[in-house]
Homo-oligomer: A and B are copies of this chain.
């Protein structure tokens, strides 16, 4: 009867079927990065657990706070919403050091201040493990959903993919850390693309933040929009540090990028590319059909999702 194989996607499909959208106030619900209400309010929750999402061997509490809050704000960016405030639900183990809690909240504040976010509530409970659920609230005039991609659109990504995972690997092998400054910075202190999201909004038809690996993130866009997405492997922007790391670990950089998550870049579809300050790359296109395909050296093949599924806890 025990079933280790229930994945997050299967559960979400099931829950979605169980809870069809009924209230008119709700413009977007289960299946998108965040919930959107008719009045422009965007609400998103994100949870992080010790041993699954973070390891205190590599993370200090300040970094943890920063990173969790950055990831949550990124969900607002994915909807082209401006952050307003956050609620913090803290699962605290018995042996809590006050200093650790202080540092965690300092991390929340460091990134929150950058986006003028107030911590406006939450709750704190005793628990056998460290865990954090962040609820972030934002406002948007026109939400960027996952469901608007149309055949003929281009597929774009901001910045570089795979940097955060490169940073994580570099931190694991301490000797190599100094060769990967940009990756480690991205892993510890990612900056969500809020300003960029607002800039691309007029051009974009659908969007998501890259948190689960390119193949999975693209699949979300394809599924919710009912289209086929073709990623052009030859166009994927590869950061020098990502290239260096994939050489060291003897992995194909394309394969690496397809499954490496938590860069918190924006992946979106648009007819014409918008103009933003960040590097912006057209990495594919939207076609009629279903699923995600990868073109490499002129040949196409369907791409299975290889991203992080949080329930299975592994790549």
> Which residues of A pack against B, CB within 8 Å?
1-4, 6, 8, 11-12, 14-15, 18-19, 21-23, 25-26, 29-30, 32, 34-35, 37, 39, 41, 43-49, 51-53, 84-85, 87-89, 91-92, 94-99, 101-102, 105-106, 109, 116, 118-129, 131, 133, 135, 137, 310-313
Contacts and interface: CB of A to CB of B under 8 A. Distances in A.
A86 B120 CA distance: 18
A94 B137 CA distance: 30
Main secondary structure of the interface of A (DSSP, over half): mixed
B101 A23 contact: no
22 contacts: A2-B95, A8-B124, A14-B101, A15-B88, A18-B102, A18-B119, A19-B105, A19-B119, A21-B118, A30-B120, A34-B121, A37-B84, A39-B39, A41-B41, A44-B87, A46-B89, A49-B125, A91-B91, A123-B310, A124-B310, A126-B310, A127-B131
Contacts of A85: 23, 25-26, 29, 35
A3 to B, nearest CB: 6
A53 B34 CA distance: 28
Given A30-B121, A43-B137, A49-B126, 16 more contacts: A3-B97, A6-B96, A23-B84, A25-B84, A29-B85, A35-B85, A44-B87, A45-B121, A45-B133, A52-B126, A87-B135, A89-B89, A91-B91, A91-B131, A124-B311, A128-B129
